[in-house]
Structure 1
Amino acid sequence: MSAKLSDVARLAEVSTATVSRVLNKSGYVSKKAREKVLSAIEELEYKPSKVASYLASRKLDFNIGIVTGRRLFKILSSKSDQFYTIVLNGIEEFFLNNNMRGELVSTDEFSNSFDGYLMIGGEISEKDVRMVKEGGKPVVLVDQYLAGVKVDCVVSDGYDGAVYGMRKLFSKGLKKIVNIHGPLSHFGFRDRYDGYISAMESAGYLPRAFEYDEENDNMSAIIDLLLSRYGLPDAVFGCNDTAAIRAMEEFQARGIKIPEEASIMGFDDIINSSGTTPSLTTFKIFKREMGVVASRRLQSLLIGNEPHPTKISLFTEFVQRESTL
């Protein structure tokens, strides 16, 4: 394990502030104390954090534009969302501890006045990213990936989660599994959908999918269409918890018992997922961590560290509850 500044201070028998003054060559430090610090640094092979050194030497903070599409901007402004609000909490937590300040702006009100940008959600398009990159500022996408654009991004691994979930359902003897997803222009929905298709086809089962319009809530029509054309499925895999919960409500309104007659599985592990009856089996996305990781990546870009674009994918965690067998 690499040595920390506090380890140097302990070995040299000085304060951490004295170690910082020696490293940054600022402020008074006695000759004896300086020699003890330098000796401790050599013995421990201590290497100062590039980020910490940069901030200490320049005494700068960074102003960050947190950019969203119009719909998500309204949701985050009211803090009414159970997913992106938590991502935003992670971002704000990191900013607070790292000399960074953020301002929430929509793509309609983009300004090139920020030092860097976090662009959040599936509404972010290639056009939006190119608009930001034209200003020469670093940018990191959060919960969105755009193929061929080669821009830093932090996402959840929905493909892996979907494959794992399908195998769980297969192990219970469930084969007739329907997917209900959001717009496939959103990487998160597309990734989970692709995982579902791959798992179903690999197992030799026929995939069936329907697109859910969350804003206009067309779930009742989807369930009617599903039952009339396909019959009652063994299970429904919702590409997010909202779709899964709405599907459960529509099944229950038609007298279909969950999970005895049909299992329901969601994705995201929003707060409401544990409060449904029955409680929703789902996948936990580490939302706060997604915000923290994206913020740390942007900080690295701001100081010129590891500039090659990187795609960071966080694994999900299966949460077994009562809505599946």
Structure 2
Amino acid sequence: MMTRNNIRFLVFLVVVGVSVWHVNHSVTKHLAGILVSTDAIASTAAPRDIVDSNLDVVSDLLNKGLKEEEISPLALESYYGNFYLAEVDNGGFAQFVFNSGWDRNVVRYVRRGLLDIDARQNLALFDEVVEKVAALDPKKLETFLSVQTFGKDEIRDSLNGDDSKFFALQNAENLTKLNSTWLRRQPSLTALSPDALRSEIRNRVAAIPDKDVRAAAAWEGTPSYVKLIASLCAASGQKLDRITAGDPMLRYDGKKIVKLSDAELKQKGTKEHDIVWFFLTDKGLHMMGENNGRAAMFDSKSGAKVAEIAVP
């Protein structure tokens, strides 16, 4: 299934790279540092704990308005390397291409990360995928990146043709283990207690001179479905983790979520507000659909309606 995974990544691509500004010393002095929790450092038996800790810190910094150029490039290598692994694991190379928007900075961080953690075979395979994408007709690639693809699709199927190679490589070059080992070797790695880590993140955010402007710009550029999901989570008292998938085969008919047949989908077509979105909260997997000026949130397992709001 094609997804738009990770709300943090989606929203802040709107802001990242819009303009380069001169940050003050309290931000730049931390630029080269990787921050993780002391609990993650102590957890030597679970390689992904330190990877997840770096992921959480970077995600939090991006969520709170820092730009990529204000975050350790080494932390970003680990962050996007983990993003790459999660996307290919979940939906193949095509999902990574789609969810990354084939953003050149993301591709650059992934490639540099694979090189730095010494995942040479994974890097060679990644370069093959990069060559495949480069060989695509630009207009076809643009269409692929802008439209959710379900069923048969030439580009998606071509990109996913190397998925089996990727999964086979994880035995010889496990990306999570290599990422973890590499993070622990970095001289700039700093481990802080949970309280100290939260304090450090607050300090970095407080040092942003135009954080209110950035937050407003990020929210203004946020897709309407993301805003609706955020509002539904607030209305139901749940904490949004991330948006995981959009399925145009599903529709909200005003009462429940229904699935269309291929013939019905072809007849009705698909507009953005028709798509049913899946998202994770602290209470599990949910769905959101729009119909006739209303947006509703459903529990994915039971199908029960959790909340409903008017579409602004």
> TM-score band, normalised by the shorter chain?
under 0.3
Instruction: Say which one has the larger Rg.
Output: 1
TM-score (normalised: structure 2)? 0.24
More helix by share: 2
Which structure exhibits the higher relative contact order, with contacts defined as CA atoms closer than 8 Å and separated by 6 or more residues?
2
